[in-house]
């Protein structure tokens, strides 16, 4: 089964970029200028929430955020719906859209986003549960999806993170995150 929500996060090269306010304005501009494909609806400022979604561009097919959800600033593209014939294809499409959004953000903000060490989170506890067999399946699909986009050097899935978030415990309920 293909997970309903897939999130790809590209991390900022400058880790001090934690102020979300510039991204609120940037994302309003994206809506106004139809800068990215798809239907984009509104912008929410969650800058008051520590380790939160930051500046969130809400769309129909996907959301885009400059967030600190895992404690590190970066751009997240979250696929929310869409038809794809396979898991690999769904992952590839999500990576493509994330890279496209990253390029748009870089072009407007002057910031640089890393193309290595991306995190991919499968936010679907029904279709992507935290089970070893499933995670291996996801790992293979992600490697195959990433190679044409990131090159073989950055496409190996070298880490399965049970919980990268700095809580003081491992979290069995956390969504599955893989790192490229």
Partner 1 sequence: MTIQTWKQALTGRIASDLADEIDAFEGQIELKKQGRVGDKLFAETRLRRGAYGQRYDNGLRHDGTGQKTLTFPSGEITKGPGTFWDAPGMMRVKIPFGAVSPEQLEVLADLAEEYSDDILHVTTRQDIQLHFVHIEDTPDLMRRLGAVGITTREACGNAVRNVSACPYAGTCHTESFDVTPHAQALADFLLGHPDTQDFGRKFKAAFSGCADEPCGLTRFHDLGLVARERTQDGVAVRGFLVLVGGGLGAVPVQAKVLTEFCPEQELLPTAQALCRVFAQHGERESRARARLKFLVQKLGIEALRELVAQERSQLLEDPRWTAHLDAAPADPDPRSAPSPLAEPGSRAERSWQGTNVRTQAQDGYHVVSVSLPLGDFTAEQARGVADLGRRFSHEALRFTVEQNVVLRWVAGADVPALYAALDALGLGEDGADGLLDPTSCPGTDTCKLGIASSRGLAKELRRSLRVVADDLDPAVKRLRVKMSGCFNSCSQHHVADLGFLGVSRSVGGRRVPHFNLVLGGRYRDNGGAYGVVVGAVPARNAPEAVRLITNKYAAERQEDESLEAFVERLGKAAIRTLLAPISKPPPYEVDPSYYRDFGDPREYTLGDMGIGECAGELVPAVEFALSAAEQKLWGAQDELESGAAAGAAGNAYQAMLVAAAGLVRHLGGQVRDEPDEVVAAFRQHVYAPGHFHDPFAKDKFGRYLFSLHDSKAHEGASVETAHRILDEARLFLEAAYACTERLLEAGSQASASAETAIPSSGERA
Q: Give the separation between CA 77 and CA 54, rounded to whole angstroms.
A: 13
CB of 151 to partner 1, least distance (A): 30
**Piece of 8-16, 42-50, 96-104, 141-149 that binds partner 1 (CB under 8 A):** 42-50
**Piece of 39-47, 90-98, 138-146, 148-156 that binds partner 1 (CB under 8 A):** 39-47
DSSP string covering 86-103: SHHHHHHHHHHHHHHHHH
Is position 131 an interface residue for partner 1 (rule: CB under 8 A)?
Answer: no
Contact 91, 145 (CB under 8 A): yes
Is position 178 an interface residue for partner 1 (rule: CB under 8 A)?
Answer: no
CB of 114 to partner 1, least distance (A): 22
Q: Give the separation between CA 73 and CA 20, rounded to whole angstroms.
A: 9
User: Which whole-number Å values give the CA distances from 5 to 25, 62, 81, 116, 123, in the listed order?
Assistant: 26, 9, 7, 21, 5
Q: Which of 83, 85, 133, 168 binds partner 1 (CB under 8 A)?
A: 168
Site residues (CB under 8 A) for partner 1, limited to 55-84: 56, 58, 60, 63, 69, 80-81
Contact 93, 81 (CB under 8 A): no
Question: Shortest CA distance to 120 belongs to which of 97, 86, 153?
Answer: 97
Task: State which residue, 26 or 113, has the beta carbon closest to partner 1.
Answer: 26
Is position 47 an interface residue for partner 1 (rule: CB under 8 A)?
Answer: yes
- Coil/strand/helix, residue 116: coil
CB of 144 to partner 1, least distance (A): 23
Q: Which of 13, 19, 39, 148 binds partner 1 (CB under 8 A)?
A: 39
Diameter of the chain by CA atoms?
44
Interface positions with partner 1 (CB under 8 A): 1, 4-5, 24-25, 28, 31-32, 39, 41-42, 44-53, 56, 58, 60, 63, 69, 80-81, 123-126, 165-169, 171, 173-175
């Amino acid at each position: 089964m293909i997970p309903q929500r897939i999130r790809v996060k590209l991390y900022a090269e400058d880790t001090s970029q934690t102020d979300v306010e510039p991204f609120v304005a940037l994302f309003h501009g994206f809506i106004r200028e139809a800068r990215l494909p798809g239907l984009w609806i509104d912008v929410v400022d969650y800058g008051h929430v520590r380790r939160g979604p930051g500046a969130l561009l809400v769309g129909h097919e996907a959301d885009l955020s400059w967030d600190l959800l895992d404690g590190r600033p970066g751009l997240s593209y979250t696929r929310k719906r869409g038809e794809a014939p396979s898991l690999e294809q769904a992952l590839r499409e999500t990576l493509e859209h994330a890279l496209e959004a990253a390029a748009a953000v870089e072009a407007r903000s002057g910031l640089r986003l890393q193309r290595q060490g991306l995190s991919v989170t499968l936010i679907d506890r029904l279709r992507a549960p935290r089970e070893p067999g499933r995670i291996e399946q996801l790992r293979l699909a992600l490697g195959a999806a990433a190679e044409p986009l990131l090159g073989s050097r950055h496409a190996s899935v070298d880490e399965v993170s049970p919980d990268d978030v700095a809580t003081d415990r491992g979290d069995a309920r956390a969504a599955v995150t893989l790192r490229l």
